[in-house]
Amino acid sequence: MLWETFSFMRDLPRIHDIATVMIRYGWGDLVRLLGMARFLERTGRILHWQSNDEIARLPAAVRARRALEDLGPTFIKLGQILATRVDMFPVEWIEELEKLHREVPPVPFEQVRADLETALGGAPEAVFAQFDPTPIAAASIAQVYRAALADGSQVVVKVRRPGIEDKIAADLRILEHLARLAESEVPELRRYQPQRIISEFRRSLKRELDLVREARNIELFARHFRDDATVAIPRVYRQYTTARVLVMEEITGIAGVDSEQLQAQGLDPVVLGARGADTVLKMVLIDGYFHADPHPGNVLFLPGNRIGMIDFGMVGRLTDARREQIVDLLHALARKEEEGMMQVLLDWAGEGEIDQSRLGHDLSDLVYTYDDLQLQEVRVADLLADITALLRENNLVLPADLTLLFKALITLEGLGQQLNPAFHMLDHMTPFVERVVRERYQPAALVKRGRRGLQEMGALLAGLPRDLARLMREMRRGRMRIDLDLKRLDHFGQQLDRSSNRLTMGILTASLVIGSSIIMTVKGGPELLGLPLFGLLGFLVAFFNSVWIIFSIWRSGKH
């Protein structure tokens, strides 16, 4: 664990801030474990290890949530992503991480104006017929203003916060090093693949920072629902949109689930709950692209019991294979086929080591739990919680794309039940599952799968002679290579490199001492204080080398 390998000393103040916040909230042991304390102390930074007694008495999940809030936008976003990892955290942690606030104090408009003018090609007051400099919403990444075009169209202008990219970039560099250290030094965390989580988090943040990508997401969903008059997706005005600014149609509706308020506006909460569920389930099971955060603030209720959706910064995508696995799992659960469920879970597990007998026993218990329940008695949130608990107990990690899906379905079910206490997600899910299963066995689908299978088999057979020839050639030459993935091999290599460096310095120092001793006996040449100058210089360099070697050995002994 050499924090000296950081190539970005410019992040030192931020590292100090992170360590200080972690210590304040009682995570000092984690600071020590990850080597942050030693690194900061060697660079002259002093850490104060006292934590507030009142804070120390709070539950661990609360302390984690408050620490993430204090660390700013990047860590708040990370916490929101981790809140989707129901396979990693128990319920109390998920509930606490869900409290991470999305609304933050807005940046003064004068700080935003420069970016806005650059993106629009002029002052917003000149580009728009009307522009209100008071933000109507402010989040950690961007804030939103209301405006009007020359033709009278009402629009909203989403502007990225100034300077947010540099801060996020620094935080991500630090998080990547922390993840690497956590994975190498804490064996219990390896199965959760911290480096992969941070890598996916980086991609997610990069997508969310790029407002052009969000514009493409909006246009994609608009195409998917162009024939559905019950769903409203905002129109994007591309001529004003850049990576920093997004201009789109303003959708005006009720954001909330107050039944009395909805009924007062002539809306039917039961119909709205049903249409909201059907909208998201179509996204998931039919289109393969879904709104990953359908909470009440992002779902608007419009006249005529229409559904409006906004904020497409976080979007989930499911491949055809993944959608088929989800359908297979639900279908097998409905038919109480444990073998079918196990096959899907094993596909999700990848190449990890699995105790299949234990997994089969746990699946049998899961099926028995739902054996006597009617469809309307099953809550999707409970079912998904049971599935993720089963995964956690069997050391299986839920694929990243499914964590967003599970979270979206749980959020959607909660929204539907707030609108209609009699709402049951599975009532709406079952027709979609049956539709997908029917379509799977349509002649066109069978022909498509058969053609794809034949192509894959043909490619495999065509390449087999070449692969066998290459294998035999390598064996004849004695160049057969087997790659071994040994844990902590990089760490061992670093230790070996340090040891060889010390040995080399020791040999050089000994050579300097011997050479300088010989020079001291030779008459002639420049002198200093009556002694040969080059001999003195040799002894001086040998002295400093010796001090460095002794200090290096002493420091490594403290690790």
**Residue closest to 142 by CA, chosen among 125, 169, 162, 170:** 162
- What are the angstrom distances between the C-alpha of 365 and each of 270, 330, 406? 34, 16, 21
Give the phi and the psi of residue 174 in degrees, each rounded to 5: -65, -45
How far apart are alpha carbons 441 and 217 in whole angstroms?
Answer: 31
How far apart are alpha carbons 156 and 134 in whole angstroms?
Answer: 12
Contact assessment for residue 284 and residue 405, using Cβ atoms and an 8 Å cutoff = yes
How far apart are alpha carbons 146 and 150 in whole angstroms?
Answer: 14
- Structure-block tokens of residue 535: 């001999």
Contacts of 400 by beta carbon, 8 Å cutoff, 6+ apart: 196, 197, 200
How far apart are alpha carbons 374 and 376 in whole angstroms?
Answer: 6
Amino acid at 93: W
Residues forming a β-bridge with 309: 299
Reported residue count of the chain is 559
Contacts of 286 by beta carbon, 8 Å cutoff, 6+ apart: 432, 435, 436
Number of Cβ atoms within 10 Å of the Cβ of 34: 23
**CA gyration radius, the chain:** 31
What H or E segment, with its residue span, contains residue 137? strand 137-138
How far apart are alpha carbons 236 and 488 in whole angstroms?
Answer: 50
**520 alpha carbon, distance to own chain's centre:** 65
Contact assessment for residue 386 and residue 394, using Cβ atoms and an 8 Å cutoff = no
Q: Name the residues annotated as catalytic.
A: 293
- What are the angstrom distances between the C-alpha of 459 and each of 276, 454, 455, 463, 465? 44, 8, 6, 6, 11
Contacts of 487 by beta carbon, 8 Å cutoff, 6+ apart: 184, 190
**Residue closest to 303 by CA, chosen among 348, 267, 329, 250:** 267
